[in-house]
Amino acid sequence: MLIYKILREAEWAELSTRGIFSGAPVDIKDGFVHFSTAAQLPGTLAKHFINETGLTLVACDSTAMATDLKWEPSRGGDLFPHLYRSLGSSDILWTRPIEAGPDGHETGPLE
């Protein structure tokens, strides 16, 4: 199953340059890197990235990360994937920009 991380410009630049990303401020505060499933992604964008531009969508294989990934209850009791280590460039299957559309963020096709 694919899981997704939304990165702001500076975060994507850090991962691209260093090959590793310790997380956004909220990730560092919480002690894990927050991810979303395809079904959870619209809610994550609406709640945490409203009116933001310059976002990059990162897709990762949850099975390949399973050793360090925990599925834990969050918004509405839904289980969200949380990565308990840094995100490395080797974890990434693909990336794409998240475009602003007339109805909000456009991520393109997911899983």
Domain ranges (residues) in the chain: 2-99
Distance CA 79, CA 72 (A): 5
Total-model pTM:
0.94
Q: What confidence score (pLDDT) does residue 72 get?
A: 97
Q: What confidence score (pLDDT) does residue 76 get?
A: 85
Pick the CATH number of 2-99 from 3.40.50.300, 3.20.170.20, 3.90.1280.10, 3.40.50.2300: 3.20.170.20
Cβ–Cβ < 8 Å for 69, 83: yes
Distance CA 23, CA 30 (A): 10
Per-residue tens of pLDDT for the chain, all 111 residues: 999 999 999 999 999 999 999 999 999 999 999 999 999 999 999 999 998 999 999 999 999 999 999 999 988 889 999 999 999 999 999 999 999 888 889 999 997
| Residue 11: DSSP 8-state | H
Q: Is 102 helix (H, G, I), strand (E, B) or coil?
A: coil
